[in-house]
Amino acid sequence: MAGYHFGWWDRDGFEIDADPGKSLRAALVIASAAACSGGPVDAASAGAAVELVHNFTLVHDDIMDRDLTRRGRPTVWSVWGITDAMLLGDALQALAVRTAVEGCAKHIAAEVVSRLAATMVELCRGQQEDCAFETREGITVNDYLQMVAGKTGALMGCSCALGACCAGADAETVSAMDAFGRRLGLAFQFTDDLLGIWGQPRLSGKPVGNDVKRRKRSLPVVAAIESGTSAGLELAWMFDAEHPLDAEDADRAVELIERAGGRAYTERQAEQQVRRALAELPDRLVTEDLMILAQGVWGREK
Amino acid sequence: MAGYHFGWWDRDGFEIDADPGKSLRAALVIASAAACSGGPVDAASAGAAVELVHNFTLVHDDIMDRDLTRRGRPTVWSVWGITDAMLLGDALQALAVRTAVEGCAKHIAAEVVSRLAATMVELCRGQQEDCAFETREGITVNDYLQMVAGKTGALMGCSCALGACCAGADAETVSAMDAFGRRLGLAFQFTDDLLGIWGQPRLSGKPVGNDVKRRKRSLPVVAAIESGTSAGLELAWMFDAEHPLDAEDADRAVELIERAGGRAYTERQAEQQVRRALAELPDRLVTEDLMILAQGVWGREK
């Protein structure tokens, strides 16, 4: 099931060449290590560990969200059922810890595992809030930002911090890399939210209009509702109704989000977070690789 | 949710005094440490960590098995839903690792975490097999034993091994304690299987006849079917049928298991595993506390 999820195998275990995902978090670990003069080999286990954590959450999130496709293929739970998919996620979480503790240099293994475990608790908190938002009214932009800090910011902060750790950086540098990664994480989620509404299903591998139909309170929606415009008010009314949104409702909702300024606001916020992430990082750490990754977080189409 | 699950709070967060579970695994950690001349304080974090692992699996297993009660109270998923219960389990797994890595002495933290993570992977494998057995025909006693080694043996072995680790024992002693705990784990599961059919719901906190109604292939059942007796054949036929068992079927099945010798076989196996566990442990490690715990695994009523 893990090999299937990572795009290496089909459901019968035969090798295929499907989309394995971006491995952005592993790339951040390696690039952050390099920014602190560390080699890729020393950071490889930490990179694998954060990818295992990320994929454990994807497998479980797909169950919670009842998502049928991921990277253009049926999700693990939709092929093998909820029980097996839960257990795969549990095992991937355990394997992340095992990879970190057994693969990292002895003198940093405990710190790497400690950061990883604290991050996983934050991830659970963020995902819990995200799911709770679907049935809660009156979500503000601030509520949303706190949720995203856990759901997406924590692991990208952890990725950059672990890269620095593996390179033997001092505590101050590790903290700076953590803050950098957390900002990138926000920009990443804002972009994800945009793609969830205006993305190309062909590129994202996710069905179109999904987020709106299930009335997901992503940043464009929350910002539109808080805008105080008439479009925002109509949108708030649609999102607070009991019945699910059909395709026609969803089209109308997308139009309202755009008219209320939710799209432009989110695009601006994504760009700003990337700019601030880079601006706040000590100059000596701003490498070309980190800049390319940071720009990619914001400008991506999938 | 965690406080509720551990019996500390009611669902609204008010303190109550409900059954917190046996904490057998934590007791094994402490008693194993003591057998290796280690104090309880040095082993406390490892004890807490194995309890967190155990409870993470309980919270997730209850979802997979659709169990409505645990320790005489509604299960977490039946109160808060599947999503929140999944996330609680995920967070408890992460907290187990965090407790181990941050609470154990620096020079053993990596080994403790490494054993814990490897054990969690074994647990997932065992639980996966257990669930798969419900829809698979022709399960043999050997299939069953392999499943139980992962599902129950691994964590009890890990508990005893971690106690030894925390006491600074040598690798050979740690291995001996691991083997001891694994045997106890088998006896524990055999006894659990007996209680799942003949236990007092008042004591066990689980509904009567549950295991039989859902055609769970526990040791008494598998042994009865393998017995070659006419009762075993009739039982095999009942368990292979498509329709679920009603109360009358279940009563008949229980009678058949007993007549085919499944109950007596399982009782004998549980006793034997405990006896062998103690017999194979080096004499210097067989303390009174470990003997009491070992006897309790086998003779318990809940």
Condensed to tens digits (0 to 9), the pLDDT of residues A44-84 reads 999 999 999 999 999 999 999 999 999 999 999 999 999 99
Q: B162 vs chain A: nearest CA distance in angstroms?
A: 16
Handedness of CA B117, B122, B127, B129 (dihedral sign): positive
Domains held by chain A: number: 1
Q: B286 vs chain A: nearest CA distance in angstroms?
A: 31
The verdict on residue B178 lying in a domain is: yes
The verdict on residue A155 lying in a domain is: yes
The verdict on residue A214 lying in a domain is: yes
Residues B166 and B50 sit within 8 Å (Cβ to Cβ) = no
Q: How far apart are CA A181 and CA B122, in angstroms?
A: 33
Q: Which pair of tokens denotes residue B151?
A: 């599902």
Query: Which of A106, A116, A124 is facing B90, going by the closest CB pair?
Result: A124
Work out the average pLDDT over A32-46. 97
The verdict on residue B294 lying in a domain is: no
Distances (CA, A) of B4 to A272, B26, B45: 42, 19, 21
CB contact under 8 A, A120 and B84: no
Mean pLDDT (chain A) is 94
Per the rule left: phi > 0, alpha: psi between -120 and 50, beta: everything else, A155 is alpha
Instruction: Name the pLDDT band for A207 (thresholds 50, 70, 90).
Output: low
pLDDT at B264: 97
| Residue linked to tokens 């094994």 | B28
A208 pLDDT above the threshold of 80 = no
| Residue linked to tokens 């699950």 | B5
Instruction: Kindly list the averaged pLDDT for each block of 10 residues, start to end, along chain B of length 302.
Output: 97 93 95 97 98 98 94 96 98 98 96 98 97 87 97 98 98 98 97 91 70 89 96 93 84 96 97 95 96 89 76
Q: Say which residue, A204 or A134, is predicted with more confidence.
A: A134
Condensed to tens digits (0 to 9), the pLDDT of residues A138-161 reads 899 999 999 999 999 999 999 999
Angle between helices B230-240 and B219-226 (to 10 degrees): 120
Range of the domain at B151: 2-6+21-281
Contacts of A127 in chain B (CB under 8 A): 87
A15 pLDDT above the threshold of 70 = yes
CB contact under 8 A, A114 and B125: no
pLDDT at B204: 66
Residue of A86, A99, A122 best to disrupt the B interface, most CBs of B under 10 A: A86
CB contact under 8 A, B89 and A90: yes
State the SS3 of A91-105.
HHHHHHHHHHHHHCC
| Residue linked to tokens 């059919």 | B197
Condensed to tens digits (0 to 9), the pLDDT of residues A77-129 reads 999 999 999 999 999 999 999 999 999 999 999 999 999 999 999 999 999 99
The verdict on residue B95 lying in a domain is: yes
Q: How far apart are CA A162 and CA A115, in angstroms?
A: 8
SS3 A161: helix
Q: What is the CATH number of the domain that holds A202?
A: 1.10.600.10
The verdict on residue B14 lying in a domain is: no
User: B237 burial class (0-12, 13-18, 19+ CB within 10 angstroms)?
Assistant: exposed
| Interior/surface letters B54-76, b for 16+ CB within 10 angstroms, e for the rest | bbbbbbbbbbbbebebbbebebb
A204 pLDDT above the threshold of 70 = no
Residues B276 and B183 sit within 8 Å (Cβ to Cβ) = yes
| Residue linked to tokens 């926000």 | A186
The verdict on residue B288 lying in a domain is: no
Q: How far apart are CA A252 and CA A234, in angstroms?
A: 10
Closest B-chain CA to A102: B114
pLDDT at A199: 86
Q: Which pair of tokens denotes residue A72?
A: 């253009």
Q: How far apart are CA B256 and CA B234, in angstroms?
A: 8
Q: In 10 A of CB A102, how many CB atoms?
A: 14
Instruction: Name the pLDDT band for A205 (thresholds 50, 70, 90).
Output: low
Instruction: Name the pLDDT band for A206 (thresholds 50, 70, 90).
Output: low
Cβ neighbors of A228 (< 8 A, separation 6 or more) are none
pLDDT at B207: 66
Element (H, E) at A52: helix A40-64
Residues A72 and A14 sit within 8 Å (Cβ to Cβ) = no
pLDDT at A122: 98
Work out the average pLDDT over A190-215. 82
Condensed to tens digits (0 to 9), the pLDDT of residues A240-253 reads 887 778 889 999 99
Q: How far apart are CA B78 and CA B57, in angstroms?
A: 16
User: Nearest-CA neighbor of B152 among B170, B171, B168, B129?
Assistant: B129
The verdict on residue A270 lying in a domain is: yes
Q: How far apart are CA B219 and CA B221, in angstroms?
A: 5
SS3 B26: helix
Q: B115 vs chain A: nearest CA distance in angstroms?
A: 9
Contacts of A89 in chain B (CB under 8 A): 90
pLDDT at A244: 76
CB contact under 8 A, B94 and A131: no
Work out the average pLDDT over A9-29. 94
Characterize the bridge pairing of strands A73-74 and A69-70: antiparallel
Task: Tell me the β-bridge partners of B9.
Answer: B15
Cβ neighbors of B198 (< 8 A, separation 6 or more) are B254, B263
Contacts of B90 in chain A (CB under 8 A): 56, 60, 89-90, 93, 120, 123-124
Q: What is the ipTM of this complex?
A: 0.94
Closest A-chain CA to B108: A110
Q: How far apart are CA B269 and CA B264, in angstroms?
A: 9
SS3 B164: helix
Q: Say which residue, A200 or A162, is predicted with more confidence.
A: A162
A20 pLDDT above the threshold of 90 = no
pLDDT at B208: 66
Residues A6 and A259 sit within 8 Å (Cβ to Cβ) = no
Q: Which pair of tokens denotes residue B88?
A: 């609680």
Work out the average pLDDT over A166-185. 98
